Amino acid sequence: MLKKCLFPVAGYGTRFLPATKAMPKEMLPLVNKPLVQYGVEEAIQAGLTEIGFVTGRGKRAIEDHFDTSFELEHQIAGTGKEHYLDSVRSVISEASFSYTRQGEMRGLGDAILQGQRLIGDEAFAVVLADDLCLNDGDGVLAQMVQLYNQFRCSIVAVDEVPKDQIHKFGVIAGNEIKPGLFQVTDMVEKPAAEDAPSNMAIIGRYILTPDIFDIIRETPPGKNGEVQITDALLAQARKGCVLAYRFKGRRFDCGSVDGFIEATNFVYENIYLSEGEGQK
């Protein structure tokens, strides 16, 4: 049974400076809820209730967010404002939260390796909170957990992206074993458009089997001199099996200003207003 989900959140969020100078980029709000809470809610919906964060300097607001604020609770108890805390209260009661730090920024592969202290020797999920994934039915992680229960190997979420965007992603090649599910044969981190093995980009949702930790340890720095999870996954695919899953749902790149604004508008119109929040 999968129950752990890792959130690498040590990145600086330079594209959102100066907003992210003293505040973690994961705490930027999409309307009234911080980005990271959407990812945690998606994990909980998938039954992943042991949440681990790989943090860095300046990320304490994330810990405070997923903790009870007695002062605030006391102030608003019994007032008409209490419902504003409903969503974060239920997240706090349904999940547990642990933290470890990535001392040096050595890439996503290294960040995941630092998470081994929180994960131990079991399969786990990884969420990159910058990628907001929304779906009416099961969220992307819930879809991936179902696949993991069937196939018992590492799985990455993929999405088709236009050629001029492909250099921003890890890109896979694979054999389609059933509609939307591929056995990975190749994986390249942020290739030039002409070198990309396909138009299928890795999105920030992974399920990883624990042998990935030893593979990461043996993975030399790759693109941009960083230890890349994409390279470790290719090694894992060559030894055994890695699947790529074209998920159902919509993805927003909240790591870019344009994607963040698009997501904000979408959440405002399709979630916030429809929940009647606008009238309260």
129 binds ligand G1P (CB under 6 A): no
13 binds ligand G1P (CB under 6 A): no
CA atoms within 13 A of residue 144's CA, in its CB half-sphere = 36
Among 131, 140, 174, 242, which residue interacts with ligand G1P (rule: CB under 6 A)?
131
Strands 170-178 and 131-134, by their bridges, are unpaired
Rounded CA separation 180/161 (Å)? 15
Cross-strand bridge partners of residue 189: 170
Site string for ligand G1P, 212-251 (x = CB under 6 A): ----------------x-x---------------------
Among 38, 97, 124, 169, which residue interacts with ligand G1P (rule: CB under 6 A)?
169
Binding to ligand G1P, residues 246-275 (CB under 6 A): 255
Look at residue 198 and give its three-state secondary structure.
coil
144 binds ligand G1P (CB under 6 A): no
Of 179, 176, 159, 170, residue with least CA distance to 250:
159
With contact defined as beta carbons under 8 Å apart, do 227 and 107 qualify? yes
Site string for ligand G1P, 91-120 (x = CB under 6 A): -----------------x------------
**128 phi/psi in degrees, rounded to 5:** -95, 110
Name the minimum Å distance from CB 201 to ligand G1P. 6
Contact residues for ligand G1P, defined by CB under 6 A: 108, 128, 131, 169-170, 189, 201-204, 228, 230, 255
